Structure 1
Amino acid sequence: MRITVVCVGKIKEKYFTMGIEEYSKRLSRYCKLDIIELPDEKTPDNASAAEELQIKKKEGERILKSVKDGAYVIALAIEGKMLTSEELSEKIEALGVNGDSHIVFIIGGSLGLDAEVLKRADYKLSFSKMTFPHQMMRMVLLEQVYRGYRIMKGEPYHK
């Protein structure tokens, strides 16, 4: 199984970088992991709705260029479906069984995802109704994918 995480924006905090590196290392036992980090657009203070749409569109175009044909795309979106860790594990396992050997998770920038990205997504996943920093979500996503593989393999993992 190949997992790609396409994300907008750099990780600035060392503690997030360390967590991402740790879960990337742990995941290497279970899948091939690629992280594609795309530049974010600068959002001016007091940006208008039209400016915000334009920023999301630019970031969305970069995201879509990074998604390979044939990949199963899961967009992280607040309006997506919330799953338990066990349900995410089952989803990843079912995709592999059904021949979807490449899953792309997409994490947008600070303004969220462009409508075209959401339209391309095969599935929309929400971790909460709350908003989280996109840097934090990269680490949380990797931890949950790792947890999912541990569950799938029947290996112990803290609950």
Structure 2
Amino acid sequence: MQISIIAIGKMAKGPEKSLLETYCKRLPWKIDVLEFEMKKKAANVAEQKAQEAEKLLAAVPDGAMVIALDERGKALTSRGLAEQVDRWQMEGVRDIAFIIGGADGLDETIRQKAHLKLAFGTLTWPHMLVRAMLAEQVYRVWSILHGHPYHRD
């Protein structure tokens, strides 16, 4: 399985980056973190989100299942996410791309292309922390699918 975390904004050194790197190293699946800075600000929010969407979607590997992190998305349990990934693997899916938008959220084009819209609850999370939380959940998915003891069972 190839995992891509595709996000707007670059992480600086700090605890969030350290945690992200820790989970990426633990994960036996190949994982890439692709970050994009938007150097030129758009005239308005809609234009900004459209420009971000263009960058984000261009980085999605061909044939990848797209999971958009969206506060209006589905709130899955870790086991539920693992079951979805397992179904995709059984269907022959080899790539999953998680998309994290900028401060103003995701453009509608990303929501439309997403195979799954995933929420990490209704709270607002710092985008840099979300990357670390996501990497931990991907590692947890791998652990569940490979029969490691899961404390919720």
Q: Distance in 2 between matches of 1:158 and 1:115?
A: 37
Partner of 2:37: 39
Q: Mind listing any 5+ residue stretches in structure 2 that lack a counterpart?
A: none
Which residue of 62, 82, 97 corresponds with 2:90? 97
1:33-112 correspondence to structure 2 within 5 Å: 33-40=31-38, 51-112=44-105
Does structure 1 conserve the Cα–Cα contact (< 8 Å) formed by 2:61 and 2:95? no
Residue 11 (structure 1) aligned with residue 11 (structure 2): yes
Secondary structure of the structure 2 residue equivalent to 1:90: helix
One-letter amino acid matched to 2:25? K
Q: How far apart are residue 130 of structure 1 and its match?
A: 1.3
How many residue pairs end up in the alignment? 152
Instruction: Return the TM-score normalized by structure 1.
Output: 0.89
Which residue of 110, 133, 136 corresponds with 1:140? 133
Q: How far apart are residue 93 of structure 1 and its match?
A: 1.2
Residue 116 (structure 1) aligned with residue 114 (structure 2): no
Q: Distance in 2 between matches of 1:102 and 1:129?
A: 27
Q: How far apart are residue 135 of structure 1 and its match?
A: 0.6
Partner of 2:123: 130
Q: Mind listing any 5+ residue stretches in structure 1 that lack a counterpart?
A: 45-49
Secondary structure of the structure 2 residue equivalent to 1:105: strand
1:18-37 correspondence to structure 2 within 5 Å: 18-27=18-27, 29=28, 31-37=29-35
Does structure 1 conserve the Cα–Cα contact (< 8 Å) formed by 2:82 and 2:145? yes
Q: Distance in 1 between matches of 2:127 and 2:151?
A: 24
Partner of 1:47: none
One-letter amino acid matched to 1:15? P
Secondary structure of the structure 1 residue equivalent to 2:117: strand
Secondary structure of the structure 1 residue equivalent to 2:19: helix
